[in-house]
């Protein structure tokens, strides 16, 4: 009880329901932790302590209701929070205060969670390195000289350091998975439509999703149950109610292992850690087979749709940062023929992977192609001596998966010889989010890597 901030959300929810701990006590423990460590890592960029305290008092005065009753939560600074500063990591919106909550925030509050603040993100979530002109860089708690990943880097660091037990994030090209890998926590990219996104401008865009992050798979599952569910304002929202799989373990499951997702360069340190994952699954009774993947078409499809979306979303804004501006310029060059080619490539890839998942239950692979890199470095420019053409290229192991319409989780897989976290990516059939979480939990329980705390 002396370290409430590092208990799991599931444990904390039980303590609150049984009145062993009050919501006010729990909030204060996390506020104390934020005061202690946040100045060193810069994860929570807007704190609403007084508002949170009022909400905690109200939670204590009420009967425990929702599954997250009284639990502190932080929201990524890309989602709108009513009457709380929301900058999207951009100087253009540095003083923006929305009038209403986004749907994911509404659902978390309806489940009883208490908002403590906003977590850092690069401008408009652009890139897998959390730094912006408004708040600066978020630092990796396992090595303060390293990047926390992104774009949900502030969320991952807040979790890893015990500042909150739960945090939301978003993922287009790896933004839930990459920072989870870099910071030794768990992030789930759900099947598109599981967590609805309400939009007036790009309602049919399926590459970008919202999802849960936590320190354990059980906590991610708990939070996922609160934010998943149908909403008619999202045209591809899933009506099926999410429920965890009743089975435990992975015995008998067919696991495909790809060390490089079909020929991608992977840093030797990362490769050494992720190479231990197949043996874990074999010891748990799964049937593991190394495979040669054909993800051709993923690169063109992702870049084309990403660029098109950036032009659609941000073309009207001035004073954009260099990464966002570059993406907008790429999008302005996209033609109808480009979109037709991307759609054809993605459709063919989807059908090939549907056949692949007739044989295998899940695919395991590296989350990121590199371990955490220096925080002053804008992006990864080479891997194993191989130069990369632009700032996106080092993220292919994550964004190729984004194109598949599949759920994918990042789970702690171990540490490099210089003590940097590395995650393994667990990818499932579209709509089988529960299977991915089941496999992730079995791996987590067998290894225990996620229990290693940062040396702050």
For 355, other C-beta atoms within 10 Å of its C-beta total 8
The single residue of 147, 175, 258, 397 carrying the catalytic annotation is 175
Closest CA to 225 of 46, 78, 444, 9: 9
Among this protein's residues, is 258 annotated catalytic?
no
d(CA 195, CA 186) in angstroms, rounded, equals: 17
The single residue of 151, 170, 208, 234 carrying the catalytic annotation is 151
What is the crossing angle of helices 433-447 and 217-227, to 10°?
Answer: 160
State CA 154 to chain mean position distance.
11
d(CA 436, CA 148) in angstroms, rounded, equals: 24
Closest CA to 25 of 56, 55, 50, 52: 56
| Contact in structure between 346 and 405 (CB atoms under 8 Å) | no
d(CA 288, CA 261) in angstroms, rounded, equals: 16
| Contact in structure between 435 and 409 (CB atoms under 8 Å) | no
d(CA 42, CA 32) in angstroms, rounded, equals: 15
CA triplet 196, 395, 205: central angle to 5 degrees?
A: 25
215 secondary structure, DSSP code: S
Helix (H) or strand (E) holding 303: helix 298-314
Strands 209-214 and 166-171, sheet pairing: antiparallel
| DSSP state letters, 336-389 | HHHHHHHHHHHHHHHHHHHHHHHH-SEEEEES-SS---BTTSSS--EETTEE-S
Among this protein's residues, is 76 annotated catalytic?
yes
The single residue of 76, 234, 368, 397 carrying the catalytic annotation is 76
| Contact in structure between 138 and 41 (CB atoms under 8 Å) | yes
Among this protein's residues, is 151 annotated catalytic?
yes
Residues annotated as catalytic are 76, 151, 175
């Amino acid at each position: 009880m002396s370290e409430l901030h590092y208990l799991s959300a599931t444990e904390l929810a039980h303590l609150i329901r049984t009145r062993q701990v009050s919501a006010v006590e729990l909030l204060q423990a996390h506020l104390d932790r934020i005061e202690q460590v946040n100045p060193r890592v810069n994860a929570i960029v807007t704190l609403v302590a007084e508002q949170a305290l009022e909400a905690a008092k109200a939670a204590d005065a009420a009967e425990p209701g929702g599954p997250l009753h009284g639990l502190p939560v932080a929201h990524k600074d890309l989602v709108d929070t009513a009457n709380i500063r929301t900058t999207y990591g951009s100087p253009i919106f540095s003083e923006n205060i929305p009038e209403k909550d986004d749907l994911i925030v509404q659902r978390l509050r309806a489940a009883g969670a208490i908002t403590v603040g906003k977590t850092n993100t690069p401008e408009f979530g652009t890139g897998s390195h959390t730094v912006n002109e408004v708040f600066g860089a978020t630092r990796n708690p396992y090595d303060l000289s390293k990047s926390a990943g992104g774009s949900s880097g502030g969320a991952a660091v807040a979790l890893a350091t015990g500042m909150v037990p739960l945090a939301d994030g978003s993922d287009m090209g790896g933004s839930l998975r990459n920072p989870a890998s870099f910071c030794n926590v768990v992030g789930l990219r759900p099947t598109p439509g599981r967590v609805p996104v309400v939009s007036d401008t790009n309602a049919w865009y399926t590459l970008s999703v919202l999802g849960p992050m936590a320190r354990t798979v059980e906590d991610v599952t708990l939070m996922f149950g609160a934010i998943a569910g149908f909403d008619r304002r999202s045209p591809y929202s899933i009506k099926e109610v999410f429920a965890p799989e009743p089975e435990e373990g992975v015995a008998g499951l067919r696991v495909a292992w790809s060390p490089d997702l079909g020929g991608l360069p992977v840093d030797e340190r990362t490769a050494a850690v992720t190479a231990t994952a197949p043996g874990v699954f074999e010891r748990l009774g799964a049937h593991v087979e190394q495979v040669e993947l054909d993800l051709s078409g993923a690169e063109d499809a992702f870049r084309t749709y990403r660029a098109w979306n950036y032009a659609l979303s941000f073309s009207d804004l001035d004073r954009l940062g260099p990464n966002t501006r570059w993406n907008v310029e790429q999008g302005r060059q996209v033609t109808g023929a480009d979109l037709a080619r991307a759609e054809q490539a993605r459709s063919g890839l989807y059908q090939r992977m549907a056949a692949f998942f007739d044989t295998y239950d899940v695919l395991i692979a590296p989350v990121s192609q590199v371990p955490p890199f220096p925080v002053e470095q804008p992006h990864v420019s080479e891997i194993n001596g191989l130069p990369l053409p632009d700032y996106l290229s080092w993220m292919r192991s994550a964004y190729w998966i984004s194109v598949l319409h599949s759920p994918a989780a990042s789970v702690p897989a171990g540490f490099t010889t210089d003590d940097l976290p590395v995650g393994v990516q667990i990818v499932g059939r579209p709509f089988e989010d529960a299977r991915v979480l089941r496999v992730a939990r079995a791996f987590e329980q067998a290894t225990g890597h996620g229990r290693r705390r940062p040396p702050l």
